[in-house]
Amino acid sequence: MSAEPLEIYLTEQDLDRSLREDVRTGLTADPKWLPPKWFYDARGSELFEEITRLPEYYPTRAERSVLAERAADIAELTGAKTLIELGSGSSEKTRLLLDAFTRHGGLGSFVPLDVSVSALRRSTARIAADHPGLRVRGIVGDFTRHLDRLPPGGRRLVVFLGGTIGNLLPDERAGFLAAMRGALEEGDWLLVGTDLVKDPSVLVPAYDDAAGVTAEFNRNVLRVVNRKLGADFVPEAFTHVALWDADQEWIEMRLRARRPMRVRVLDLDVAFAEGEELRTEISAKFRPERITAELAAAGFTTERSWTDPDGLFGVTLGRAT
């Protein structure tokens, strides 16, 4: 069975408008910021794939080990008929779940949601070829805006992997989880991957690797703004910074101006002082009781939670109540 035509609820024009709004809002704020979703053009996606293979970057390996160990349990516990993945990308880790559900039997459809048309076309074609009995229908959308487009009915399992939930600020996270619960029916399932609080000596190098790949990934947001909006950022004039905020329990990635400069973007003339920082990402880390409480506040009961053998990364299975 071939993949169904993509359902498109997010166009290039939508993305362009969203980028303009984010750039205007973020670069006129104090302190300045840009959201991490704009890292991911084709080059940014390549750089992130390289990051996931770095020795310092444990989250991808740790989460994969949990899924490899527990995928069969997840299939057995949920008995899902529809598997939905948010921010799917290449859906590589989700293949562990798909294989487990195939062995278990009963899964009828796979619905990946992502902002990238090209990534979805590639991944849905491969998955449909590998799972010929599975209905594969990709949705081009933003998980913060298009949860109402998820297919209704059946026993659904939504998976949100990679620790991406940690990129949302606490209020944004609460809003997302509430919207997620609103899109599901009682008895549906949510599987969330969360990076766990640990010693900064392990955390910080994961975001500031010795080879400098993360630094290039961080500066890529400036290249995206240059290419898409005709800005004149000089990416090499910014130093990559990764800091652990012990009070908030998150990593902040920033770009620090090496010298005073002015940047022209849209109709803005944006001044940077020497040493001024532009925040590009937060990555919240969780304690098990925190994710359980946040899920409960949104209407989910935590049924199971697992970690890798080293306790680096958590995967939590919640049920809509």
Domain boundaries, the chain: 1-321
Mean pLDDT of 251-272: 98
Question: 1-321 belongs to which homologous superfamily?
Answer: Vaccinia Virus protein VP39 (3.40.50.150)
Q: Which residue has the tokens 């990555």?
A: 283
DSSP code of 187?
Answer: T
End-to-end alpha carbon distance in the chain: 35
With 70 as the cut, is the pLDDT of residue 52 above it? yes
Indicate the burial class of 186 (C-beta count within 10 angstroms; 0-12, 13-18, 19 or more).
exposed
pLDDT (tens digit, 9 = 90+) per residue, 72-120? 999 999 999 999 999 866 677 899 999 999 999 999 999 999 998 888 9
The least confident of 53-67, 119-133, 289-303 is: 119-133
* Cα distance between residue 278 and residue 134, in whole Å: 44
For residue 92, what pLDDT is reported?
Answer: 79
pLDDT (tens digit, 9 = 90+) per residue, 175-192? 999 999 999 999 999 999
Integer Rg of the chain from CA: 20
CA dihedral of residues 57, 60, 66, 68 (deg, nearest 10): -130
- Examine residue 151 and say whether the peptide bond preceding it is cis (omega within 30 degrees of 0): no
* Cα distance between residue 268 and residue 11, in whole Å: 25
- Could you tell me which of 252, 280, 284, 240 has the C-alpha nearest to residue 22? 280
